[in-house]
Each structure stands twice: as C-alpha cells, then as structure tokens.
Structure 1
Amino acid sequence: MMYYVLHKLKVRIILYITAETPILDRLEPAIQQHNPAQLEASISDYYSAGLTDDTGLLLETEELLAALRAQKELTAAMQKRDCKRLDETILAAEHAVSMSGKTTLQPIKAGRKDLLTSRRMEMKRRAAEEKRGVVQELGYQILDADKVRRLENLRHEVLQMNQSTISEIRNYNHPPQLVHQVMVATYLLLGVNESETQVRNIFLSSNI
C-alpha cells in the first residue's frame, strides 16, 4: 500500500514538472522582454494547467503586465490627445502604480525549496525588478500625460472663444505687452512654432 501511494505521488510530481517547466520556459523571456501578449498567455496557461504558486511569481507577473498595459494605453491616449481617453488612462495608470508592491506573500516553508520552487523564486525576483522599472517610467509618463491633458483643455477653451473678442484682439496695431505675451503663449499651446510667434504674425494671422 505504501509503495502504491509513493508511486502515485511520484507520478503526480513528474506530471507537475512536465506541465510547469515549459510554461516557465515561455514566461521567463516574456518577463525580460516586457512582452504583454506572452505574459498574458503564460499566466493563463499556468492557471489552466491547475498549477499552484506559493512564491509570488504570478502576482509579480500580473502586476508587471498591468503596468505594461497601462503604459501602452497611456502612450496611445497622449498621441491622440483625446481628453476623455487621457482621463481614463491616467486613472488606470495611477491605479497600476498604487497597486504595485502591495501584495502580501506567504513565506516559503523550510524544506520546500525544490528546483522548480527555486526557479520560480528567482523569476519572481526578476519580475519584481522589471516591474519596478516599468512603474517608475509609468510615474513619469503620468506627469507628461497630465500636462498634455491640461494643454488640450486650454486649447479647446481658446478655440471656443467668442469671435468678437478675437476680432477685437486682432485689431490691435500696437498691443500692450501683456496682451502680446498672452497671445504668444496661446499660439504656443496651439502648436505654432516659437519662431513664428512675432507680433506682426500673431495679429495679422487669420488662422485663429
């Protein structure tokens, strides 16, 4: 009876190793290369195979994936300069940053550090390092996205100015210095090259 139990346990261990090793083989380079698609596929494969992880590798990998997704979506929103989309992606990115590092991991019990466990622990350490770098970049990116969002809001407000106000400003032959500075700043916000923001160009232009 004991022999049967030991044999059955040995078979289960072999099956476990056979199932987990190729998944880790795919997951490891995905972590290093910041490959969201492969990260997602490897995580899905791990759960689908009914495998368990007590090292925190999957948690770190999932947080890395969330940060990479937030980074990609934030970049796309900044390129489109869509204020509504920027609002949504900034919130998602801030959530990804705030959630990073908040997971509580259970300590590995003595005597349980087999080869696969040791490998998962090392991969978890690498995933944590990679996530830390991505989250730091994401923090800077959030600041840039917030600037773009505020500039776009200002641009929309300028474009919605009353036409009579614009006509009055254009009729100034010798505008006060403050008006000139405001108009230069406005044109810069609208994307006009700084070299073109001269007094005569600003007030003779019909592009506003």
Structure 2
Amino acid sequence: MSSRLLVYKLNQAVSMKDATRMEAAIRECKEAGMGKEKDVRKAEKELQVIEMKSKLKRAMEERDDAAITEAISETERLGLSSKLRHDILAAKNSVSRRERTAQSKPSILDFGKSTISEIRSYDHPPRIVHRVIQAALMLLGESESDTSDWRKCRAFCCQTGDNGLNRKILNFDMTKVRPGAKPISKEILNKYRFSEVQAVSAGAATFYVWVSCFFNVYITWRK
C-alpha cells in the first residue's frame, strides 16, 4: 500500500475519532517505515487524548477517586492537560463533591447509644428538641407530616438494622435529600441557637450540629 494511501487511512481514522481504526492505521504506517512522519505523530497524540478521555470518564462513572487521581496524573505526564482541561476539571469536581459529602457525615460515634437513648426517652419532649429532631429526620427522608408527630419521630429513632437512625446517618448522601425538605429544615434550624438547644438536650444538640453541618457543606457544594 502506498504511503499516500496509508496517510489517507490514518487521517480518516483520526477525523472519525475511531480509536480502533487509529491504532490499526498507526501500526500499518510504522510497519511501512513511516513512524516519524508528522501525521503519524499527530495521530498518536490524538489516540492518547481519546484513551485518557475514556479513562477519566470510566473512573468518574465508577466513582473511583484513586483511579481518577491516577488518570489525571497520567494525563498531565503525557502533556495532555490543555486538551483535556474540561475533563480534568469535571473529574476533580466529582472528587471534591464526594469529599464534601463525606464531611457532612459525622462519625457514627457522635450518635452513640447515649445520644439516641436520650431522644428515645422523651414521651413529651420540649418543643425545641422535637423541632431539631424533625429537621434532621426530614433530611434523612421522612416527611414533614410524619415528623410533626413526636410519636412517629420517636418510632423512627427506635428503628434498628438498615432502617436504624445510625445506619441512615452513616449512609447519608446529601445529593439525595428531597428538595422540599431543605427549606423546612433550614427554617427550623434558624429559629434556634446552638446554646439554646445544648442547654435543653445534649442529644438534640448533636443533631443540631449535624443539620448545621449539612447546610454549611451544601452551600459550599452548590457554589
């Protein structure tokens, strides 16, 4: 096959961004002794771009932060940062979002037995305690109507296993909070100061901090 035809096939594969055809065309050119041709070197670079773009996308889809970091480093090492700057930015943002979400998950130790036991012990809690717990439960997926009834709030706090409060807090994902729950929880929180809650209930104060943490992280995440 003539060198002109080989270059034509190569450029056609590049224009189609077909990685498989590009690999084959590059191999044919090299076998014909054309490895140092400008078109071949350009095609090799474009193939690297396609491969790294795919690698970044796959790591993001799998939410594999280690793979994302490795792919970004490899992209920079290959000198492809400018060509893939938008992909790199998207990958870094995906890692940052997960880090911020993780920051909104207080340690399960913060919600130990004493905290949960205190909340469960209330038959008729002070209104400030009920409202703070309501704000937290709404972020965790419960409805406003259900959490307006303390008996139901208490029942939610008494659940165990996968439906247990500790498990829900541990697995909390701020991106899955129902939109309607956020303004109501925020309104409840704004009515009280931490010192007021803490003076009445140490357990409720823990939930107050958790809800506050959610809104602080959520506001940062949305920027």
Normalising by the smaller structure, the TM-score range is 0.5 to 0.7
Q: Does 1:33 align with 2:16?
A: yes
Change (3 A) 1:48 1:189: farther
Q: What do residues 146-171 of structure 1 show as CA deviations (whole Å, max 9, x unaligned)?
A: 01112223444555x42242465995
Consecutive unaligned residues of structure 2, counting only runs of 5 or more, are: 120-128, 141-168, 186-206, 208-223
- Write the letter of the residue equivalent to 1:78: M
Matched with 2:99 is: 153
Q: What do residues 110-141 of structure 1 show as CA deviations (whole Å, max 9, x unaligned)?
A: xxxxxxxxxxxxxxxxxxxxxx8xx1xx2111
Separation in 1, partners of 2:103, 2:181: 22
Higher relative contact order (CA 8 A, sep 6+): 1
Instruction: Give, in angstroms, the shift of residue 19 of structure 1.
Output: 3.4
- 1:92-107 superposed matches below 5 A: 92-96=74-78, 98=79
- 1:111-150 superposed matches below 5 A: 135=83, 138-150=84-96
- Write the letter of the residue equivalent to 1:39: M
Equivalent residue in structure 2 for 1:46, among 20, 29, 41: 29
Give yes or no for contact 1:27–1:42 (8 Å, CA) kept in 2.
yes
**Aligned partner of residue 180 in structure 2, secondary structure:** helix
TM-score when normalising by structure 2: 0.51
Q: Does 1:194 align with 2:151?
A: no
TM-score when normalising by structure 1: 0.54
Instruction: Give, in angstroms, the shift of residue 99 of structure 1.
Output: 5.0
Separation in 2, partners of 1:140, 1:93: 12
Number of aligned residue pairs = 142
Q: Does 1:84 align with 2:66?
A: yes
Give yes or no for contact 1:188–1:194 (8 Å, CA) kept in 2.
no
- Write the letter of the residue equivalent to 1:163: I
Change (3 A) 1:26 1:195: farther
Separation in 1, partners of 2:75, 2:34: 30
CA root-mean-square deviation: 3.7
Instruction: Give, in angstroms, the shift of residue 68 of structure 1.
Output: 1.0
Matched with 1:173 is: 130
Overall identity of the aligned pairs, in %: 18
Matched with 1:125 is: none
Give yes or no for contact 1:43–1:58 (8 Å, CA) kept in 2.
yes
Consecutive unaligned residues of structure 1, counting only runs of 5 or more, are: 1-17, 101-131, 204-208
